Amino acid sequence: MQRFLNKHPTRAVFVLLAIASLAWLIFSVWPEWLIDLIGRKKTFVNTLINGLTLGGLYFLVASGFTLIFGLMRNVNLAHGTMYLLGAYIGYEVAEFSNNWYLGLIAAFIAVGLCGMLMQLLVFRRMEGDDLRQTLVTIAISIIAADLMLAVWTGTTYQFTPPEWLFGSVTLPIVSAIKSSGEVVYLKYPLFRLMVMLLAILVGVVLWLFLNKSRIGMMIRAGVNDRDMLSASGVNIQLIFMLVFAIGAGLAGLAGVVGGTALSIAPGEDIRYLLASLVVVIVGGLGSITGAAIGAVIIGLAEQFGLAYLPTYGVVITFLIMVMVLAIRPKGIMGK
């Protein structure tokens, strides 16, 4: 912090100014001219939180994707399938046991196992052959999508979250002051705030796991030099399977979370695969921090697009991608 201040005094001033004005935008009561300029405060602040919570969901999906790529250089295009499969399995378990948490855990474990099997039965046999792996994962995703359509049909499913998570909470942010002088506070769906908290929790746990644990150290060593790691007596196949299980399991977990916050239906697999791809391209392939940054940027872009430019909102996401690719071809945190 101190070093940054000394090194780039002008940049630091800009960053501080940006933070201060954002805080002012969130906590102050907006004057008339600002409302005329960019609309009501409720829209702006809501969109901001929406972007962050959607970013949280994207991070849950994309962190597994980037983890797998980072270690195995394997672009797993069946990652969206893992998301959808987790959602369906979680739904069945949650319906059967009438317990949402059980569904969440079941999705993580079941899809984690699927990931392990995929590594064991498929990817191990074509190690280092990127093109074949990519094609095989596309094939798996297409076949699985049709199988899931056959089993769960095209109906839209929605989870029933635990009672205390349903509904909205009042945030300590003033939305507007009515002419009668009554202060209106901002309301926000509680579950979506929880999505963000869960994403932060998963991010912290992943960071601790990768940076502080012995297995994490092995994984990082494997990212840098696979051959040296296996030469030093580590069973690299076991590590691969573990990472694949965690990556896929996270996607499954995200399926339940996403299915509760939004909904699940055929086609979601492709949507989240695309989202993860864009997130990791923007954030930098293989970096967990990059996935977090990318997820927040894409989440915000999508939500602000939807609120302020509904028809052309989608374009913003891809504009950001193009810009990042032009300036930093390997992504923001890419090496």
Partner 1 sequence: MIKKLITISLTLLAFTGWNSATAQDTIKMGALATLEGAFAVLGEDGMRGVKMALEEFGYEAGGKKIELITGSSDASPDSALRAARKLVEQDGVPILVGPLSGSEGLALKDYAKTQPNVTFVNGVSAAQDTTLREPADNFFRFTTDGAQWMAGLGEYAYNEKGYRKLAVLAEDYSFPYTQVFGFLEPFCRLGGQAPLDARFWVPIGNKDFSSVIAALPDDVDAIYVALGGADAINFLTQYGQAGGELPLIGGSITVDQTVLGSRGRIREHVVGMPSAGPISDTWDDPLWQAFTDQYRKQFPDGFPSPSLFAHGYYISTKATLLALDKVNGDVSDGGKAMRTALSSLTFETPTGTVSLDERRQAIADIFLTEVTVDDNDNLVNKTINVTGQVSQTFGLPYQDFLQYGPVSRENPRCE
Q: Can residue 262 be called a binding residue for partner 1 (CB under 8 A)?
A: yes
Residue nearer to partner 1 on the CB measure, 232 or 263: 263
Residue nearer to partner 1 on the CB measure, 240 or 272: 272
Per-position DSSP letters for 157-184, written without gaps between them: B-----GGGSSEEEEEEEEEE-TTSPEE
At 251, is the secondary structure helix, strand, or coil? helix
- Give the residue among 54, 62, 79 at the shortest CA–CA distance from 206: 62
Measure the CA–CA gap between 4 and 6, rounded to whole angstroms: 5
Q: Can residue 160 be called a binding residue for partner 1 (CB under 8 A)?
A: yes
Contact 270, 148 (CB under 8 A): no
String marking each residue 276-315 x if it binds partner 1 according to CB under 8 A:
--------------------------xxx-xx--xx-xx-
Q: Can residue 269 be called a binding residue for partner 1 (CB under 8 A)?
A: no
- Give the residue among 328, 302, 327 at the shortest CA–CA distance from 316: 302
Q: How many CB atoms lie within 10 A of CB 40?
A: 13
Q: Can residue 154 be called a binding residue for partner 1 (CB under 8 A)?
A: yes
Q: Can residue 119 be called a binding residue for partner 1 (CB under 8 A)?
A: no
Contact 142, 250 (CB under 8 A): no
Q: Can residue 265 be called a binding residue for partner 1 (CB under 8 A)?
A: yes
Q: Can residue 180 be called a binding residue for partner 1 (CB under 8 A)?
A: no
Residue nearer to partner 1 on the CB measure, 151 or 326: 151
Per CB under 8 A, contacts with partner 1 among 222-261 are none
Backbone phi, psi, residue 176, to 5°:
-165, 165
Per CB under 8 A, contacts with partner 1 among 53-92 are 54
- Site for partner 1, rule CB under 8 A: 39, 42-43, 46-47, 50-51, 54, 149, 153-158, 160, 166-168, 187-189, 191-192, 262-263, 265-268, 271, 302-304, 306-307, 310-311, 313-314
